[in-house]
Amino acid sequence: TSEREAKQLLKGVNMLVTAGPTKEKIDPVRFMTNRSTGKMGYSIAEEAAKQGANVTLVTGPTTIPYPSGVEIVQVDSAQEMYEAVMARYNTTDVVVKSAAVADYRPKYVHDQKMKKKPGEAVIELERTQDILKTLGERKEHQLLIGFAAETEKVDEYAQRKLQKKNLDMIVANNVTEEGAGFGVDTNVVTFYKRNGEQKKLPLLTKHEVAKNILHEVKMMMEGLRE
Ligand code: CTP
Ligand code: CA
């Protein structure tokens, strides 16, 4: 494989990026969500578009500005994200799944605001669909890049997800590490590839991390063509 980094090296590549948290309704005034801001995914989408890719960004609710040059698909829930991603999978070459998808949603969405009652209350939860795992099961020509945000045993959990979801690469970070994870402009990540290769990057801006991820994508795509 050549190491060339021509500017438009992703030209003609159809890329689907997911970003941000999902939002799961409890009642008309309440929902469950998580701390994802969407920064990592938005950086990837913007940089990929700059390098010539046709980018669709499926985004959960965020407060940061949309990247330029990409098609935006707004979703709220994990189920909506699932449907938006599946509808586009056939025509996609590369999926980068940086969204922080809810693993559970309230089993019942109340039509009226829930009223407080004496004593304790329980909100029953049910599992959402694992979007990335489904993509892995239905993989044909696509390259699949997943993320793993962990607080412990990063190596073990990341490699397990790589295998279980049939990914080509997983980008793992320990969100408790200084400069990594939610809300900040930097990240400390390790790439784990299908072929066993591992690459630990230093503390970088999310934009730099995005460039590194896209570099790996290009290398893997060249590998596929050979
Ligand atoms: N993911 C997904 N659909 C879900 C849950 C996760 O597509 N319902 C994707 C995420 O976008 C991410 C990868 O799977 O790219 C790993 O997510 P993560 O939450 O780290 O792993 P889980 O498989 O959900 O396992 P756990 O939360 O128990 O660690
Ligand atoms: Ca999860």
Alpha-carbon gap, residue 43 to 185, rounded angstroms:
10
Ligand nearest to the CA of 97: 1
pLDDT at 205 over 50: yes
Complex ipTM more than 0.95, yes or no: yes
Residue numbers belonging to the annotated binding site for CTP: 103, 113, 147, 161, 165
Domain ranges of the chain: 14-109+121-225
Ligand nearest to C-alpha 157: 1
Mean of the pLDDT values across residues 211-226?
A: 90
Which 3 state secondary structure label does DSSP give 143? strand
Q: Per-residue pLDDT tens for 43-82?
A: 999 999 999 999 999 999 999 999 999 999 999 999 999 9
Residue 88 has pLDDT above 90, yes or no: yes
Asked if pLDDT for residue 5 goes beyond 80, the answer is no
**184 burial type by CB count under 10 A (0-12 exposed, 13-18 middle, 19+ buried):** middle
User: With bands split at pLDDT 50, 70 and 90, how would you rate the model's confidence at 206?
Assistant: very high
pLDDT at 2 over 60: no
How far is the centre of ligand 2, averaged over its atoms, from the C-alpha of 6 (Å)?
36
Query: What number is the average pLDDT over the span 111-134?
Result: 97
Burial class (CB in 10 A: 0-12, 13-18, 19+), 79: middle
In angstroms, the CA 94 to CA 132 distance is 12
Atom of ligand 1 nearest to the CA of 135: 7
Active site residues: 34
Residue 4 has pLDDT above 70, yes or no: no
Question: In this predicted structure, what is the pLDDT of residue 182?
Answer: 85
Atom of ligand 1 nearest to the CA of 85: 7
Phi, psi of 203 (to 5 degrees): -60, 120
Q: pTM, whole model, 2 decimals?
A: 0.95
**Residue 226: predicted pLDDT:** 62
In this prediction, residues 127-144 reach a mean pLDDT of 98
Per the CB < 8 A criterion, the answer to whether 173 and 209 are in contact is no
Confidence category of residue 181, pLDDT binned at 50, 70, 90: confident
Per-residue pLDDT reduced to its tens digit, 143-171: 999 999 999 999 999 999 999 999 999 99
pLDDT score recorded for residue 183: 82
Per-residue confidence (pLDDT) for residue 1, from 0 to 100 = 42
The set of residues, in sequence order, having a beta carbon less than 8 Å from that of 90 and lying 6+ positions away, is none
Query: Does the pLDDT of residue 224 top 90, yes or no?
Result: no
Assign a CATH topology to domain 14-109+121-225.
Rossmann fold (3.40.50)
Contact at 8 Å (CB) between 107 and 56?
no
Q: Looking at residue 98, what is its pLDDT?
A: 98
Determine the atom of ligand 1 nearest the C-alpha atom of 78: 8
Label residue 3 by pLDDT band (50, 70, 90): very low
Q: Which residues line ligand 1 (CB under 6 A)?
A: 78, 97, 99, 101, 103, 128, 130-132, 146-149, 161
Indicate the average pLDDT of the chain: 95
Pocket test for ligand 1, best of 23, 40, 94, 131 (most atoms within 8 A of CB): 131
Distance CA 128, CA 194 (A): 26
